Structure 1
Amino acid sequence: MTTLLISHPSSLEHQTPEGHPERPDRIRAVEAALEDERFALLQRVEAPEATLAQAELCHPAHYVAAIAAASPAEGLVGIDADTTMSPGTLSAALHGVGGAIHAVDEVMAGRAANAFCALRPPGHHAERERAMGFCFFNNAAIAARHAQRAHGAGRVAVIDWDVHHGNGTQDIFWNDPSVLYASLHEMPLYPGTGAPSERGEHDTIVNVALRAGDGSEAFREAFDIAVLPRIASFAPELIVISAGFDAHWRDPLANLKLRESDFAWATRALMELADRHAGGRLVSILEGGYDLEGLAKSTAAHVGALMRG
Protein backbone atom coordinates (compact mmCIF):
# COMPACT_ATOMS: atom_id res chain seq x y z
CA MET A 1 0.00 0.00 0.00
CA THR A 2 1.03 3.55 -0.57
CA THR A 3 -0.35 7.04 -0.06
CA LEU A 4 -3.44 7.92 -2.08
CA LEU A 5 -3.55 11.35 -3.75
CA ILE A 6 -7.05 12.50 -4.65
CA SER A 7 -7.63 15.48 -6.95
CA HIS A 8 -10.05 16.63 -9.65
CA PRO A 9 -10.01 19.22 -12.47
CA SER A 10 -13.16 20.83 -11.04
CA SER A 11 -10.96 22.43 -8.36
CA LEU A 12 -9.71 24.78 -11.09
CA GLU A 13 -13.25 25.75 -12.12
CA HIS A 14 -14.20 27.37 -8.81
CA GLN A 15 -13.53 31.01 -9.64
CA THR A 16 -13.10 33.84 -7.15
CA PRO A 17 -12.82 37.62 -7.63
CA GLU A 18 -9.60 39.12 -8.99
CA GLY A 19 -7.00 39.33 -6.23
CA HIS A 20 -8.81 36.83 -3.99
CA PRO A 21 -6.30 34.70 -2.05
CA GLU A 22 -8.29 31.44 -2.46
CA ARG A 23 -7.68 31.03 -6.18
CA PRO A 24 -7.18 28.22 -8.72
CA ASP A 25 -3.42 28.83 -8.77
CA ARG A 26 -3.29 27.22 -5.32
CA ILE A 27 -4.16 23.85 -6.81
CA ARG A 28 -1.78 24.38 -9.72
CA ALA A 29 1.04 25.01 -7.23
CA VAL A 30 0.19 21.87 -5.25
CA GLU A 31 -0.05 19.71 -8.36
CA ALA A 32 3.26 21.02 -9.71
CA ALA A 33 5.00 20.25 -6.41
CA LEU A 34 3.63 16.70 -6.40
CA GLU A 35 4.87 16.03 -9.93
CA ASP A 36 8.41 15.75 -8.56
CA GLU A 37 9.95 12.31 -9.09
CA ARG A 38 10.00 11.60 -5.36
CA PHE A 39 6.21 11.37 -5.54
CA ALA A 40 6.21 8.83 -8.36
CA LEU A 41 4.84 6.09 -6.09
CA LEU A 42 1.73 8.04 -5.12
CA GLN A 43 -1.49 6.29 -6.07
CA ARG A 44 -3.37 9.01 -7.97
CA VAL A 45 -7.13 9.03 -8.52
CA GLU A 46 -9.79 11.58 -9.38
CA ALA A 47 -12.35 12.45 -6.74
CA PRO A 48 -15.90 11.28 -7.39
CA GLU A 49 -18.64 13.90 -7.22
CA ALA A 50 -20.69 13.58 -4.05
CA THR A 51 -24.44 13.72 -4.03
CA LEU A 52 -26.24 16.49 -2.19
CA ALA A 53 -27.39 13.82 0.25
CA GLN A 54 -23.79 13.01 1.13
CA ALA A 55 -23.19 16.65 2.05
CA GLU A 56 -26.11 16.23 4.47
CA LEU A 57 -23.91 14.01 6.66
CA CYS A 58 -22.94 17.24 8.45
CA HIS A 59 -25.28 19.89 7.02
CA PRO A 60 -29.10 20.01 7.13
CA ALA A 61 -30.94 19.39 3.88
CA HIS A 62 -32.31 22.93 3.68
CA TYR A 63 -28.80 24.38 3.88
CA VAL A 64 -27.41 22.04 1.22
CA ALA A 65 -30.37 22.86 -1.04
CA ALA A 66 -29.80 26.59 -0.51
CA ILE A 67 -26.14 26.31 -1.54
CA ALA A 68 -27.14 24.37 -4.64
CA ALA A 69 -29.83 26.92 -5.48
CA ALA A 70 -27.35 29.80 -5.14
CA SER A 71 -25.11 28.39 -7.88
CA PRO A 72 -25.02 30.98 -10.69
CA ALA A 73 -25.29 30.26 -14.40
CA GLU A 74 -22.72 32.97 -15.05
CA GLY A 75 -20.64 35.49 -13.16
CA LEU A 76 -20.03 35.49 -9.42
CA VAL A 77 -22.51 35.46 -6.54
CA GLY A 78 -21.45 36.60 -3.09
CA ILE A 79 -22.42 34.33 -0.18
CA ASP A 80 -20.69 36.63 2.29
CA ALA A 81 -17.96 39.25 2.10
CA ASP A 82 -15.24 36.59 1.60
CA THR A 83 -17.09 33.70 0.01
CA THR A 84 -18.32 33.65 -3.59
CA MET A 85 -19.78 31.13 -5.99
CA SER A 86 -19.07 30.86 -9.71
CA PRO A 87 -20.70 28.44 -12.19
CA GLY A 88 -18.03 25.86 -11.33
CA THR A 89 -18.18 26.20 -7.54
CA LEU A 90 -20.92 23.70 -6.73
CA SER A 91 -19.24 20.91 -8.69
CA ALA A 92 -15.87 21.69 -7.11
CA ALA A 93 -17.39 21.69 -3.62
CA LEU A 94 -19.18 18.39 -4.24
CA HIS A 95 -15.97 16.85 -5.59
CA GLY A 96 -14.33 18.03 -2.36
CA VAL A 97 -16.95 16.12 -0.38
CA GLY A 98 -16.66 13.14 -2.71
CA GLY A 99 -12.88 13.12 -2.44
CA ALA A 100 -13.02 13.13 1.36
CA ILE A 101 -15.52 10.27 1.38
CA HIS A 102 -13.50 8.25 -1.13
CA ALA A 103 -10.33 8.80 0.91
CA VAL A 104 -12.07 7.40 3.99
CA ASP A 105 -13.42 4.42 2.04
CA GLU A 106 -10.00 3.49 0.69
CA VAL A 107 -8.15 3.95 3.97
CA MET A 108 -10.77 2.21 6.13
CA ALA A 109 -10.85 -0.72 3.68
CA GLY A 110 -7.06 -1.03 3.78
CA ARG A 111 -6.61 -0.30 0.09
CA ALA A 112 -4.45 2.77 0.85
CA ALA A 113 -2.04 3.38 3.72
CA ASN A 114 -3.31 6.94 4.07
CA ALA A 115 -4.64 9.68 1.78
CA PHE A 116 -4.28 13.34 0.89
CA CYS A 117 -7.10 15.26 -0.80
CA ALA A 118 -5.68 18.07 -2.96
CA LEU A 119 -8.99 19.78 -3.63
CA ARG A 120 -10.59 23.20 -3.23
CA PRO A 121 -12.58 25.09 -2.02
CA PRO A 122 -11.55 24.42 1.60
CA GLY A 123 -14.13 23.43 4.19
CA HIS A 124 -13.28 23.92 7.85
CA HIS A 125 -15.06 27.28 8.27
CA ALA A 126 -18.36 25.85 6.98
CA GLU A 127 -20.68 25.51 9.96
CA ARG A 128 -23.74 23.28 10.00
CA GLU A 129 -25.89 25.97 8.43
CA ARG A 130 -23.49 28.70 7.30
CA ALA A 131 -21.01 29.08 4.47
CA MET A 132 -18.15 31.42 5.32
CA GLY A 133 -14.39 31.92 5.12
CA PHE A 134 -14.13 30.60 1.52
CA CYS A 135 -15.92 27.37 2.61
CA PHE A 136 -19.25 25.75 1.63
CA PHE A 137 -19.25 22.13 2.85
CA ASN A 138 -17.08 20.88 5.71
CA ASN A 139 -15.04 18.14 4.05
CA ALA A 140 -13.08 17.09 7.14
CA ALA A 141 -16.22 16.83 9.28
CA ILE A 142 -17.99 14.86 6.56
CA ALA A 143 -15.00 12.50 6.34
CA ALA A 144 -15.21 11.85 10.08
CA ARG A 145 -18.96 11.29 10.05
CA HIS A 146 -18.75 9.02 6.98
CA ALA A 147 -16.15 6.87 8.75
CA GLN A 148 -18.62 6.42 11.57
CA ARG A 149 -21.77 5.86 9.51
CA ALA A 150 -20.33 3.71 6.71
CA HIS A 151 -17.44 1.94 8.44
CA GLY A 152 -18.48 1.75 12.08
CA ALA A 153 -15.65 3.88 13.47
CA GLY A 154 -16.52 4.59 17.08
CA ARG A 155 -14.12 7.48 17.67
CA VAL A 156 -12.55 9.85 15.14
CA ALA A 157 -10.06 12.62 15.81
CA VAL A 158 -9.92 15.70 13.57
CA ILE A 159 -6.68 17.67 13.90
CA ASP A 160 -6.63 21.15 12.37
CA TRP A 161 -3.37 23.05 11.96
CA ASP A 162 -4.68 25.68 9.56
CA VAL A 163 -3.67 29.08 10.95
CA HIS A 164 -7.35 30.07 11.20
CA HIS A 165 -9.58 28.34 13.71
CA GLY A 166 -11.95 25.79 12.20
CA ASN A 167 -15.12 27.24 13.65
CA GLY A 168 -17.22 25.08 11.34
CA THR A 169 -15.77 21.80 12.52
CA GLN A 170 -16.11 22.93 16.12
CA ASP A 171 -19.75 23.90 15.52
CA ILE A 172 -20.58 20.53 13.96
CA PHE A 173 -18.99 18.43 16.72
CA TRP A 174 -19.60 20.67 19.76
CA ASN A 175 -22.09 18.22 21.30
CA ASP A 176 -20.51 15.00 20.02
CA PRO A 177 -18.47 12.84 22.41
CA SER A 178 -17.42 10.51 19.59
CA VAL A 179 -15.30 13.08 17.71
CA LEU A 180 -12.27 14.84 19.17
CA TYR A 181 -11.55 18.16 17.45
CA ALA A 182 -8.14 19.73 18.13
CA SER A 183 -7.05 23.01 16.53
CA LEU A 184 -3.82 24.97 16.70
CA HIS A 185 -4.30 28.48 15.32
CA GLU A 186 -3.25 32.09 15.63
CA MET A 187 -5.30 34.37 17.89
CA PRO A 188 -6.58 36.99 17.53
CA LEU A 189 -7.34 36.23 13.89
CA TYR A 190 -10.33 35.39 11.69
CA PRO A 191 -12.91 34.11 12.54
CA GLY A 192 -12.44 35.09 16.20
CA THR A 193 -13.38 31.74 17.69
CA GLY A 194 -11.09 29.10 19.17
CA ALA A 195 -10.32 30.28 22.70
CA PRO A 196 -8.89 27.55 24.93
CA SER A 197 -12.01 27.87 27.09
CA GLU A 198 -14.13 26.56 24.20
CA ARG A 199 -14.10 22.86 25.08
CA GLY A 200 -17.43 21.46 23.86
CA GLU A 201 -20.22 19.79 25.80
CA HIS A 202 -18.12 16.66 26.40
CA ASP A 203 -14.62 18.19 26.69
CA THR A 204 -13.76 16.88 23.22
CA ILE A 205 -12.81 20.27 21.76
CA VAL A 206 -9.14 21.23 22.19
CA ASN A 207 -8.18 24.76 21.15
CA VAL A 208 -4.56 25.88 21.25
CA ALA A 209 -4.12 29.60 20.64
CA LEU A 210 -0.77 30.70 19.24
CA ARG A 211 0.34 34.33 19.05
CA ALA A 212 1.54 36.42 16.12
CA GLY A 213 5.24 35.77 15.63
CA ASP A 214 5.20 32.27 17.09
CA GLY A 215 7.34 29.83 15.14
CA SER A 216 8.57 26.27 15.18
CA GLU A 217 9.42 26.03 18.88
CA ALA A 218 6.05 27.30 20.12
CA PHE A 219 4.12 25.20 17.60
CA ARG A 220 5.95 21.97 18.37
CA GLU A 221 5.76 22.51 22.12
CA ALA A 222 2.00 23.15 21.93
CA PHE A 223 1.52 20.10 19.72
CA ASP A 224 3.52 17.93 22.12
CA ILE A 225 1.90 19.17 25.32
CA ALA A 226 -1.68 20.08 24.42
CA VAL A 227 -2.62 17.99 21.38
CA LEU A 228 -0.78 14.67 21.13
CA PRO A 229 -1.64 13.46 24.68
CA ARG A 230 -5.32 14.24 24.13
CA ILE A 231 -5.36 12.24 20.91
CA ALA A 232 -3.56 9.36 22.58
CA SER A 233 -6.02 9.22 25.47
CA PHE A 234 -8.98 9.46 23.06
CA ALA A 235 -7.59 6.47 21.06
CA PRO A 236 -9.28 7.28 17.75
CA GLU A 237 -9.98 4.66 15.10
CA LEU A 238 -9.24 7.21 12.35
CA ILE A 239 -7.33 10.48 12.29
CA VAL A 240 -8.44 13.24 9.90
CA ILE A 241 -6.16 16.24 9.31
CA SER A 242 -7.46 19.63 8.25
CA ALA A 243 -4.18 20.46 6.54
CA GLY A 244 -3.97 24.18 6.04
CA PHE A 245 -0.53 25.58 5.30
CA ASP A 246 -1.16 29.27 6.00
CA ALA A 247 0.85 29.16 9.23
CA HIS A 248 3.90 29.14 6.94
CA TRP A 249 6.14 32.17 7.44
CA ARG A 250 5.54 33.36 3.87
CA ASP A 251 1.73 33.41 4.07
CA PRO A 252 0.11 36.85 3.61
CA LEU A 253 -3.04 36.18 5.69
CA ALA A 254 -1.42 35.44 9.06
CA ASN A 255 1.59 36.01 11.25
CA LEU A 256 2.98 32.66 12.37
CA LYS A 257 6.47 31.61 11.33
CA LEU A 258 6.27 27.90 10.60
CA ARG A 259 8.45 26.20 8.03
CA GLU A 260 7.67 23.23 5.86
CA SER A 261 9.71 21.01 8.18
CA ASP A 262 7.21 21.75 10.96
CA PHE A 263 4.34 20.32 8.93
CA ALA A 264 6.39 17.20 8.17
CA TRP A 265 7.18 16.82 11.87
CA ALA A 266 3.51 17.18 12.87
CA THR A 267 2.50 14.71 10.17
CA ARG A 268 4.91 12.09 11.47
CA ALA A 269 3.72 12.64 15.03
CA LEU A 270 0.11 12.04 13.99
CA MET A 271 1.12 9.00 11.93
CA GLU A 272 2.76 7.50 15.02
CA LEU A 273 -0.51 7.89 16.92
CA ALA A 274 -2.48 6.49 13.98
CA ASP A 275 -0.15 3.48 13.93
CA ARG A 276 -0.64 2.97 17.66
CA HIS A 277 -4.41 3.42 17.89
CA ALA A 278 -5.98 3.36 14.42
CA GLY A 279 -4.14 0.75 12.40
CA GLY A 280 -2.33 3.57 10.62
CA ARG A 281 -5.60 4.98 9.26
CA LEU A 282 -5.18 8.68 8.43
CA VAL A 283 -6.86 11.00 5.92
CA SER A 284 -5.57 14.50 5.20
CA ILE A 285 -7.62 17.23 3.51
CA LEU A 286 -6.25 20.48 2.11
CA GLU A 287 -7.53 23.64 3.77
CA GLY A 288 -5.76 27.03 3.52
CA GLY A 289 -2.37 28.22 2.35
CA TYR A 290 -2.20 31.35 0.23
CA ASP A 291 1.44 31.98 -0.62
CA LEU A 292 2.03 29.69 -3.57
CA GLU A 293 5.65 28.88 -2.77
CA GLY A 294 4.94 28.26 0.90
CA LEU A 295 1.91 26.15 0.01
CA ALA A 296 3.81 24.06 -2.54
CA LYS A 297 6.79 23.38 -0.27
CA SER A 298 4.62 22.66 2.76
CA THR A 299 2.37 20.29 0.84
CA ALA A 300 5.39 18.45 -0.52
CA ALA A 301 6.81 18.07 2.98
CA HIS A 302 3.46 16.84 4.31
CA VAL A 303 2.87 14.31 1.53
CA GLY A 304 6.48 13.16 1.70
CA ALA A 305 5.96 12.40 5.37
CA LEU A 306 2.70 10.56 4.62
CA MET A 307 4.73 8.38 2.25
CA ARG A 308 7.06 7.69 5.18
CA GLY A 309 9.84 9.53 3.41
Structure 2
Amino acid sequence: MDCPVVSKDLILRVHDFELLEDVTADPLCSTAWHSAGGVVKAAEMVYEGSLRNAFCYIGAGGHHAGKRLFWGYCCFNDVVLAIENLRENKGEVRCAILDTDAHHGDGTRELVEGDENILHFCICMKDFESSDGLRIDRNYRGLDKKEYIEIIDEFSVRVDEFSPEMIFWYFGHDTHTGDYADAGLTVDEYMEISKKLKGLAKSVCDEKLVVVLGGGMLPNVAKASTLTVIKELLKP
Protein backbone atom coordinates (compact mmCIF):
# COMPACT_ATOMS: atom_id res chain seq x y z
CA MET A 1 0.00 0.00 0.00
CA ASP A 2 1.32 3.48 -0.87
CA CYS A 3 1.75 5.83 2.06
CA PRO A 4 -0.23 9.07 1.81
CA VAL A 5 1.08 12.33 3.23
CA VAL A 6 -0.23 13.08 6.72
CA SER A 7 -2.34 16.23 6.78
CA LYS A 8 -1.18 19.43 8.43
CA ASP A 9 -4.54 19.79 10.15
CA LEU A 10 -4.16 16.38 11.81
CA ILE A 11 -0.58 17.14 12.87
CA LEU A 12 -1.70 20.36 14.56
CA ARG A 13 -4.36 18.52 16.56
CA VAL A 14 -1.53 16.55 18.20
CA HIS A 15 1.62 18.71 17.95
CA ASP A 16 2.38 22.40 18.36
CA PHE A 17 3.09 24.53 15.30
CA GLU A 18 6.72 25.01 16.41
CA LEU A 19 7.33 21.25 16.17
CA LEU A 20 5.80 21.22 12.70
CA GLU A 21 8.19 23.97 11.62
CA ASP A 22 11.20 22.20 13.15
CA VAL A 23 10.34 18.89 11.47
CA THR A 24 9.92 20.65 8.14
CA ALA A 25 13.39 22.19 8.49
CA ASP A 26 15.13 18.97 9.57
CA PRO A 27 16.57 16.92 6.65
CA LEU A 28 16.54 13.79 8.83
CA CYS A 29 12.73 14.06 8.88
CA SER A 30 12.28 14.03 5.11
CA THR A 31 10.26 10.80 5.26
CA ALA A 32 8.15 11.87 8.26
CA TRP A 33 5.12 13.02 6.27
CA HIS A 34 4.67 9.74 4.43
CA SER A 35 5.70 7.61 7.42
CA ALA A 36 3.06 9.12 9.68
CA GLY A 37 0.53 9.18 6.86
CA GLY A 38 1.05 5.47 6.27
CA VAL A 39 0.40 4.62 9.92
CA VAL A 40 -2.71 6.80 9.97
CA LYS A 41 -4.04 5.14 6.80
CA ALA A 42 -3.19 1.61 7.95
CA ALA A 43 -4.95 2.10 11.29
CA GLU A 44 -8.01 3.47 9.52
CA MET A 45 -8.16 0.47 7.16
CA VAL A 46 -7.69 -2.04 9.98
CA TYR A 47 -10.37 -0.38 12.08
CA GLU A 48 -12.81 -0.39 9.15
CA GLY A 49 -12.04 -4.05 8.35
CA SER A 50 -10.51 -3.63 4.88
CA LEU A 51 -7.26 -4.96 6.40
CA ARG A 52 -7.13 -7.67 9.08
CA ASN A 53 -3.95 -6.18 10.55
CA ALA A 54 -0.98 -4.15 9.31
CA PHE A 55 2.79 -3.78 9.49
CA CYS A 56 4.02 -0.21 8.90
CA TYR A 57 7.59 -0.13 7.58
CA ILE A 58 8.27 3.52 8.34
CA GLY A 59 11.22 5.75 7.49
CA ALA A 60 10.91 8.16 10.44
CA GLY A 61 9.91 7.04 13.91
CA GLY A 62 7.27 8.39 16.24
CA HIS A 63 7.46 7.45 19.89
CA HIS A 64 9.93 10.20 20.93
CA ALA A 65 7.77 12.95 19.39
CA GLY A 66 5.78 14.86 22.01
CA LYS A 67 3.69 17.99 21.96
CA ARG A 68 6.54 20.41 21.30
CA LEU A 69 9.76 18.39 21.12
CA PHE A 70 11.08 15.46 19.05
CA TRP A 71 14.35 13.53 19.02
CA GLY A 72 15.92 10.17 18.17
CA TYR A 73 14.85 10.17 14.48
CA CYS A 74 11.22 10.45 15.63
CA CYS A 75 9.44 13.39 14.01
CA PHE A 76 5.64 13.10 14.20
CA ASN A 77 3.99 10.75 16.70
CA ASP A 78 2.48 8.39 14.14
CA VAL A 79 0.45 6.22 16.55
CA VAL A 80 -1.10 9.16 18.40
CA LEU A 81 -1.91 10.78 15.05
CA ALA A 82 -3.57 7.53 13.96
CA ILE A 83 -5.66 7.40 17.13
CA GLU A 84 -6.63 11.07 16.78
CA ASN A 85 -7.71 10.44 13.19
CA LEU A 86 -9.84 7.46 14.23
CA ARG A 87 -11.48 9.46 16.98
CA GLU A 88 -12.27 12.33 14.65
CA ASN A 89 -14.09 9.98 12.30
CA LYS A 90 -15.24 7.06 14.48
CA GLY A 91 -15.77 8.45 17.99
CA GLU A 92 -13.84 7.78 21.21
CA VAL A 93 -11.89 4.73 20.07
CA ARG A 94 -10.28 2.77 22.93
CA CYS A 95 -6.69 1.68 22.21
CA ALA A 96 -3.81 -0.20 23.81
CA ILE A 97 -0.19 0.59 22.90
CA LEU A 98 2.69 -1.82 23.50
CA ASP A 99 6.16 -0.37 22.97
CA THR A 100 9.01 -2.89 22.77
CA ASP A 101 11.52 -0.47 21.30
CA ALA A 102 14.24 -0.53 23.96
CA HIS A 103 14.00 3.18 24.72
CA HIS A 104 11.16 4.76 26.67
CA GLY A 105 8.38 6.14 24.49
CA ASP A 106 8.46 9.51 26.21
CA GLY A 107 6.68 11.42 23.46
CA THR A 108 3.79 8.97 23.35
CA ARG A 109 3.54 8.98 27.16
CA GLU A 110 3.31 12.78 27.21
CA LEU A 111 0.62 12.87 24.54
CA VAL A 112 -1.63 10.17 26.05
CA GLU A 113 -1.28 11.31 29.67
CA GLY A 114 -4.69 11.63 31.31
CA ASP A 115 -6.50 9.76 28.54
CA GLU A 116 -8.53 7.03 30.23
CA ASN A 117 -9.22 5.32 26.90
CA ILE A 118 -5.56 4.58 26.13
CA LEU A 119 -3.40 1.93 27.80
CA HIS A 120 0.32 2.64 27.29
CA PHE A 121 2.68 -0.23 28.19
CA CYS A 122 6.39 0.34 27.58
CA ILE A 123 9.17 -2.25 27.96
CA CYS A 124 12.21 -0.02 28.36
CA MET A 125 14.86 0.80 30.96
CA LYS A 126 12.78 1.66 34.03
CA ASP A 127 9.89 0.49 36.16
CA PHE A 128 6.80 2.59 36.71
CA GLU A 129 3.06 2.16 37.09
CA SER A 130 0.50 4.94 37.40
CA SER A 131 -2.19 4.79 40.06
CA ASP A 132 -4.87 4.03 37.47
CA GLY A 133 -2.82 1.19 35.91
CA LEU A 134 -2.94 2.74 32.44
CA ARG A 135 0.70 3.93 32.22
CA ILE A 136 3.14 1.08 32.77
CA ASP A 137 6.89 0.77 32.25
CA ARG A 138 8.77 -2.48 32.74
CA ASN A 139 12.58 -2.65 32.89
CA TYR A 140 14.03 -5.31 30.57
CA ARG A 141 17.63 -4.95 31.76
CA GLY A 142 19.01 -8.05 33.42
CA LEU A 143 16.14 -10.27 32.28
CA ASP A 144 16.55 -13.49 30.35
CA LYS A 145 14.41 -14.35 27.33
CA LYS A 146 11.79 -16.21 29.36
CA GLU A 147 11.39 -13.29 31.77
CA TYR A 148 11.04 -10.86 28.86
CA ILE A 149 8.22 -12.95 27.40
CA GLU A 150 6.56 -12.96 30.82
CA ILE A 151 6.28 -9.17 30.54
CA ILE A 152 4.42 -9.66 27.25
CA ASP A 153 2.08 -11.99 29.13
CA GLU A 154 1.51 -9.26 31.72
CA PHE A 155 0.58 -6.88 28.90
CA SER A 156 -1.86 -9.47 27.60
CA VAL A 157 -3.58 -9.67 30.98
CA ARG A 158 -3.83 -5.88 31.16
CA VAL A 159 -5.28 -5.70 27.67
CA ASP A 160 -7.82 -8.39 28.43
CA GLU A 161 -9.02 -6.32 31.40
CA PHE A 162 -8.89 -3.03 29.45
CA SER A 163 -10.83 -4.33 26.40
CA PRO A 164 -9.51 -2.00 23.67
CA GLU A 165 -10.92 -1.73 20.17
CA MET A 166 -7.44 -1.75 18.63
CA ILE A 167 -3.87 -2.65 19.63
CA PHE A 168 -0.76 -0.81 18.41
CA TRP A 169 2.67 -2.41 18.75
CA TYR A 170 5.85 -0.35 18.41
CA PHE A 171 8.28 -3.08 17.37
CA GLY A 172 11.97 -2.26 17.69
CA HIS A 173 14.63 -4.80 16.75
CA ASP A 174 17.21 -2.78 18.73
CA THR A 175 16.63 -5.39 21.46
CA HIS A 176 18.20 -8.12 19.28
CA THR A 177 21.47 -9.71 20.31
CA GLY A 178 24.29 -7.51 19.00
CA ASP A 179 22.11 -4.49 18.22
CA TYR A 180 22.65 -1.21 20.07
CA ALA A 181 20.22 -1.93 22.94
CA ASP A 182 21.00 -5.65 23.11
CA ALA A 183 18.38 -7.33 25.35
CA GLY A 184 19.51 -10.79 24.34
CA LEU A 185 16.48 -11.40 22.13
CA THR A 186 16.51 -13.17 18.77
CA VAL A 187 14.14 -13.59 15.86
CA ASP A 188 12.65 -16.58 17.69
CA GLU A 189 11.44 -14.28 20.49
CA TYR A 190 10.03 -11.81 17.97
CA MET A 191 8.08 -14.66 16.40
CA GLU A 192 6.76 -15.73 19.81
CA ILE A 193 5.72 -12.17 20.68
CA SER A 194 4.02 -11.82 17.28
CA LYS A 195 2.01 -14.99 17.87
CA LYS A 196 0.98 -13.84 21.32
CA LEU A 197 -0.11 -10.39 20.18
CA LYS A 198 -1.94 -11.71 17.15
CA GLY A 199 -3.83 -14.16 19.37
CA LEU A 200 -4.52 -11.40 21.89
CA ALA A 201 -5.91 -9.10 19.20
CA LYS A 202 -8.10 -11.91 17.90
CA SER A 203 -9.57 -12.52 21.35
CA VAL A 204 -10.18 -8.91 22.43
CA CYS A 205 -10.59 -6.67 19.36
CA ASP A 206 -11.47 -8.69 16.27
CA GLU A 207 -7.78 -9.01 15.20
CA LYS A 208 -7.27 -5.23 14.98
CA LEU A 209 -3.49 -5.04 15.40
CA VAL A 210 -1.21 -2.39 13.85
CA VAL A 211 2.55 -2.96 14.10
CA VAL A 212 4.83 0.06 13.65
CA LEU A 213 8.56 -0.39 13.09
CA GLY A 214 10.80 1.08 15.79
CA GLY A 215 14.56 1.31 16.35
CA GLY A 216 17.42 -0.92 15.24
CA MET A 217 20.58 -0.57 13.15
CA LEU A 218 21.70 -4.00 11.89
CA PRO A 219 20.54 -4.62 8.29
CA ASN A 220 20.55 -8.42 8.60
CA VAL A 221 18.53 -8.25 11.82
CA ALA A 222 16.15 -5.73 10.27
CA LYS A 223 15.45 -8.03 7.32
CA ALA A 224 15.07 -11.22 9.34
CA SER A 225 13.02 -9.77 12.16
CA THR A 226 10.61 -7.67 10.11
CA LEU A 227 9.96 -10.48 7.63
CA THR A 228 9.30 -12.84 10.55
CA VAL A 229 6.73 -10.49 12.09
CA ILE A 230 5.07 -9.80 8.75
CA LYS A 231 4.82 -13.52 7.90
CA GLU A 232 3.23 -14.20 11.27
CA LEU A 233 0.67 -11.43 10.73
CA LEU A 234 -0.19 -12.81 7.28
CA LYS A 235 -1.03 -16.26 8.58
CA PRO A 236 -4.79 -16.92 8.71
TM-score relative to the length of structure 1: 0.72
The 1:90–1:132 alpha-carbon spacing in structure 2 relative to 1, beyond 3 Å, is: closer
Deviation string 1:141-161 (CA, Å, 9 cap, x unpaired) is 222222222223531011111
Match of 1:92 among 31, 37, 42: 31
Structure-1 residue corresponding to 2:192: 265
Larger radius of gyration between Structure 1 and Structure 2: 1
- The 3-state SS of whatever aligns with 1:182 is strand
Corresponding letter in the other structure for 2:37: G
Match of 1:184 among 123, 133, 138: 123
Deviation at 1:258, TM superposition (A): 0.4
- The 3-state SS of whatever aligns with 2:158 is helix
Structure-2 residue corresponding to 1:102: 41
In the alignment, structure 1 residue 204 sits paired with structure 2 residue 131: no
Deviation at 1:198, TM superposition (A): 4.7
Q: Is contact 2:19–2:70 with CA below 8 Å preserved after alignment?
A: no
Structure-2 residue corresponding to 1:59: 15
- The 3-state SS of whatever aligns with 1:284 is strand
Deviation at 1:304, TM superposition (A): 1.1
Structure-2 residue corresponding to 1:129: 68
Corresponding letter in the other structure for 1:254: A
Corresponding letter in the other structure for 1:165: H
- The 3-state SS of whatever aligns with 1:130 is coil
Structure-2 residue corresponding to 1:298: 225
Deviation string 1:36-62 (CA, Å, 9 cap, x unpaired) is xxxxxxxxx110011222222421234
Identity of aligned residues (%): 26
Deviation string 1:161-204 (CA, Å, 9 cap, x unpaired) is 1111111111111211111011112x2xxxxxxx32352x7431
The 1:198–1:61 alpha-carbon spacing in structure 2 relative to 1, beyond 3 Å, is: farther
Task: Tell me how large the CA RMSD over aligned residues is.
Answer: 1.7
Distance 1:147 1:216 in 2: 35
Gaps (5+ residues) in structure 1? Answer: 1-44, 72-84, 188-194
Structure-2 residue corresponding to 1:149: 88
Gaps (5+ residues) in structure 2? Answer: none
Structure-1 residue corresponding to 2:212: 285
Structure-2 residue corresponding to 1:238: 166
- The 3-state SS of whatever aligns with 2:173 is coil
Deviation at 1:296, TM superposition (A): 1.3
Structure-1 residue corresponding to 2:149: 220
Corresponding letter in the other structure for 1:237: E
- The 3-state SS of whatever aligns with 2:55 is strand
Aligned pair count reads 236
Deviation at 1:90, TM superposition (A): 4.6
TM-score relative to the length of structure 2: 0.93
Distance 2:121 2:40 in 1: 21
Deviation at 1:302, TM superposition (A): 0.8
